[in-house]
Structure 1
Amino acid sequence: MIRWVLTIFIALIVFSALLPWLEKLGVGRLPGDVKFSLFGKTVFLPFASTILLSTVIFLVARYL
């Protein structure tokens, strides 16, 4: 269980770093991605996009 939590946490960090490039492809605007302003800063939590990208990476890794 802790392995999956760590994997998702690392995926969130990587996804947030790659977000400017991925937004051009339409990733980051899925239902389940949360974007809000808090104390003048924009906070983005890409839950749905992270699950989608993790699933794609898992399937690619499984079949290679």
Structure 2
Amino acid sequence: MMNIPKMVMILGMIIFVIGFAMKYIHLGRLPGDIFLKKGNTTFYFPIVTSIIVSVVLSAIFYLIGRFK
């Protein structure tokens, strides 16, 4: 029960960082993301955005595991 406030603070910090990134960094339309539009069909695959999010989340979880 003692770790619940710490976990809530970490979760809040993660949500804050994600919100900041969505507001100011405009993730999702980076160079390298695949965007195809042909007629009425649109295909969008955010490959570079996925790689960046994966690296950032891996670093966050590494740091959390290191200090635990």
Q: Please state which band the TM-score falls in when normalised by the shorter chain.
A: 0.5 to 0.7
Is 1:31 the counterpart of 2:53? The answer is: no
Structure 1 alignment gaps of length 5 or more: 1-21
TM-score (ref. length: structure 1): 0.56
TM superposition shift of 1:24: 7.5
Runs of 4+ in 1 over 3 A off after TM superposition: 22-25
Give the structure with the higher percent strand.
Answer: 1
TM-score (ref. length: structure 2): 0.53
- Percent identity for Structure 1 against Structure 2: 26
Structure 2 alignment gaps of length 5 or more: 1-21
Which residue number corresponds to residue 42 of structure 1? 42
Larger C-alpha radius of gyration, 1 or 2?
Answer: 2
CA shift digits 1:21-46 (9 cap, x unpaired): x4875111111111112452211010
Task: Point out which structure has higher relative CO (alpha carbons under 8 A, 6+ apart).
Answer: 1
